[in-house]
Structure 1
Amino acid sequence: MLGIMSATDRDRRPAVTRGRRQLLPHQHGAWAFLVLPLLLGLCVAGWSVLLVPLAFAWIASYPFSWAVAASVSMPRPERYRDAVVLWGVVSAAAGLVVLLQRPWLVWVLLVYGAAFAVNLDFARRRSERAIANDLLLVAECSLVVPVAAGVLAGGDGWEPPWSAMSGSAVLVWTVVCVLTLVGSTLHVKSLIRERRDPRYTRASQAFAVASVPVAAALALVGGVPWWAVTVPLALLAGRALWLHDPTMRPGRLGMIELVCFVAVVAGGAAARLAG
């Protein structure tokens, strides 16, 4: 989960923290990227007490992976050792609770381990903000939707509960998660790090507009109410078209993105109630 900080680079590192040990990343918008797929998984699969340790393990994996990546890419790795230990213990302890109930998650861990190895390679080359790394991180986040659906639906053996993880509603909301996170990544980059490159602005706006009919078509095919996906994605398209202001402060930009994410979750909850 290291590179979410590049996909949501909405703040600046305070100078007063330089030289001190760090326990948390400064990219506050990254937390929304973590919570969105968990909540969408909850919307499609329903509540289970395992959501609590799953959420702790997943969310703690972000500062853990950030600290590991910083340890291999920054000049003073000792600043991040406490974070590696702290968040590694939290993530492992919470994850073990879920793993004992859902042993099939070991296969998921292998997939994420391979993906994180690629993230680390980007970090070693000091190119963790590359768009390719951002897209890999979007994929890592979005796959949490079917994983969470499988954990919440059941399956206590070594065989993943494929039917629960590949249902039409799960697939629709996984794609919606991808569209939301890619759109947010492009939009934020076009306003901060790549604000001088008009290609990012065009890509952000085109992607956001195209996402609406794509999601609507998938919803109709998958039996999900079309309005549950088109309304929040239309909101995202509107913010890409009419709220594209490079002078916007990062805090305000982050709040707008948070509202858009809440709208997506609201769409998932409404679809469950309607179904």
Structure 2
Amino acid sequence: MKLVVPNQHGAWAMLLIPYLLGVVASSFRLIHIPLFIGWFFLYLATYPLMMVIKGKQVSFHFNWAVGYFFISFVFLGLVMFVEWRLIYFGLAMIPFFLLNIYFVKRKNERAFTNDMVAIGVFCIGGLASFYIGKGALTSEGLSVALFVFLFFLGSTFFVKSMIREKKNKRFRWYSWGYHFIVLLFIFTLKESWLWILPFAPSLIRAISLYNKKLTIMQLGIIEIINSVIFLVVTSLLFL
């Protein structure tokens, strides 16, 4: 039997990177394992749930959603038994999920705003990961969420400039301008200039690859490589 899993490959990086950076920026605890399993299955559950909302094979997708949610709640329940305050992170995600549902109902899932909403959800997962390791939300934990949000928003600009908005020259400048402003912002925010290094490759690829004839697979590989660079360099800076 084929598993029902989300078909947006870029979202897997958004799922993993905030969580891993939350661990690196704080400290690893065994409770991170069940937290990640619960978080992973919660993410899996969203795809069949959205299919139900769309009215596609409702009974089939409903059963998958219930199964994923059940596994997620079992593991997240174990985690909250140890640290009940994690429920606040779950509550913070609810408005984002409601916005996702709104865009699905409007048949406008690819809207830029919806992408921002999705990134926000994954950032909250990173905050939860940091909180478990640190026992509190500090400025460093908020930096994790901020950096991840800025990075993946840049990916959204880049991918749209290469696919849906490739003929929109104005959007090209939006993309390039955004990446440049992020570098300036990080440079002024952090004491060390080294913190711009995780974001510099994004600016380079946004400019150098614009208008290149690349397939969806090639773009995906480029984004995976860029995400790995961001994860590794940012992790080293947090250590």
Structure 2 vs 1, CA of residues 186 and 81 (structure 1 numbering), >3 Å: closer, same or farther?
Answer: same
Structure 2 vs 1, CA of residues 123 and 103 (structure 1 numbering), >3 Å: closer, same or farther?
Answer: same
1:139-166 Cα distance to aligned partner (Å, 9 max, x none): 2222333221111223xxxxxxxxx312
Where does 1:58-77 land on structure 2 (aligned, <5 Å)?
Answer: 58-77=39-58
Q: Tell me the number of residue pairs that the alignment of Structure 1 and Structure 2 aligns.
A: 239
Please tell me whether residue 261 in structure 1 is matched to residue 227 in structure 2. yes
Please tell me whether residue 170 in structure 1 is matched to residue 141 in structure 2. yes
SS at match of 1:199: helix
CA positional deviation for 1:216: 2.0
CA positional deviation for 1:22: 6.3
1:157-194 Cα distance to aligned partner (Å, 9 max, x none): xxxxxxx3122x22323221111010011111121233
Provide the residue aligned with 1:127 in structure 2.
Answer: 108
Find the aligned partners of 1:59 and 1:206 in 2 and give their Cα distance: 34
Find the aligned partners of 1:212 and 1:243 in 2 and give their Cα distance: 19
CA positional deviation for 1:231: 1.0
CA positional deviation for 1:244: 2.1
Please tell me whether residue 184 in structure 1 is matched to residue 155 in structure 2. yes
Find the aligned partners of 2:133 and 2:74 in 1 and give their Cα distance: 19
Find the aligned partners of 2:91 and 2:172 in 1 and give their Cα distance: 36
Provide the residue aligned with 2:204 in structure 1.
Answer: 238
Question: What amino acid does structure 1 have at the position aligned with 2:177?
Answer: A
**Percent of aligned pairs sharing the same letter:** 24
Structure 2 vs 1, CA of residues 257 and 103 (structure 1 numbering), >3 Å: closer, same or farther?
Answer: same
Question: What amino acid does structure 2 have at the position aligned with 1:178?
Answer: F
1:237-272 Cα distance to aligned partner (Å, 9 max, x none): 101010224521112211111121112221222123
Provide the residue aligned with 1:226 in structure 2.
Answer: 193
Please tell me whether residue 199 in structure 1 is matched to residue 170 in structure 2. yes
Specify which of 120, 144, 155 is matched with residue 125 of structure 2. Answer: 144
Question: What amino acid does structure 2 have at the position aligned with 1:267?
Answer: V
Find the aligned partners of 2:35 and 2:175 in 1 and give their Cα distance: 32
Find the aligned partners of 1:126 and 1:153 in 2 and give their Cα distance: 40
Structure 2 vs 1, CA of residues 59 and 202 (structure 1 numbering), >3 Å: closer, same or farther?
Answer: farther
Structure 2 vs 1, CA of residues 210 and 62 (structure 1 numbering), >3 Å: closer, same or farther?
Answer: same
Find the aligned partners of 2:173 and 2:67 in 1 and give their Cα distance: 41
Deviates more, 1:195-204 or 1:53-62: 195-204
TM-score (norm 1): 0.80
Please tell me whether residue 250 in structure 1 is matched to residue 222 in structure 2. no
Structure 2 vs 1, CA of residues 171 and 106 (structure 1 numbering), >3 Å: closer, same or farther?
Answer: closer
Find the aligned partners of 2:209 and 2:218 in 1 and give their Cα distance: 11
SS at match of 1:104: helix
SS at match of 1:129: coil
Find the aligned partners of 2:197 and 2:152 in 1 and give their Cα distance: 16
1:33–1:181: 8 Å Cα contact kept in structure 2?
A: yes
Question: What amino acid does structure 2 have at the position aligned with 1:108?
Answer: F
Find the aligned partners of 1:77 and 1:240 in 2 and give their Cα distance: 40
Find the aligned partners of 1:86 and 1:200 in 2 and give their Cα distance: 41
**Please, which runs of 5 or more residues in structure 2 have no aligned partner?**
none
TM-score (norm 2): 0.92
**Please, which runs of 5 or more residues in structure 1 have no aligned partner?**
1-19, 155-163
2:166–2:211: 8 Å Cα contact kept in structure 1?
A: no
Question: What amino acid does structure 1 have at the position aligned with 2:137?
Answer: M
Structure 2 vs 1, CA of residues 138 and 131 (structure 1 numbering), >3 Å: closer, same or farther?
Answer: same
Provide the residue aligned with 1:270 in structure 2.
Answer: 236
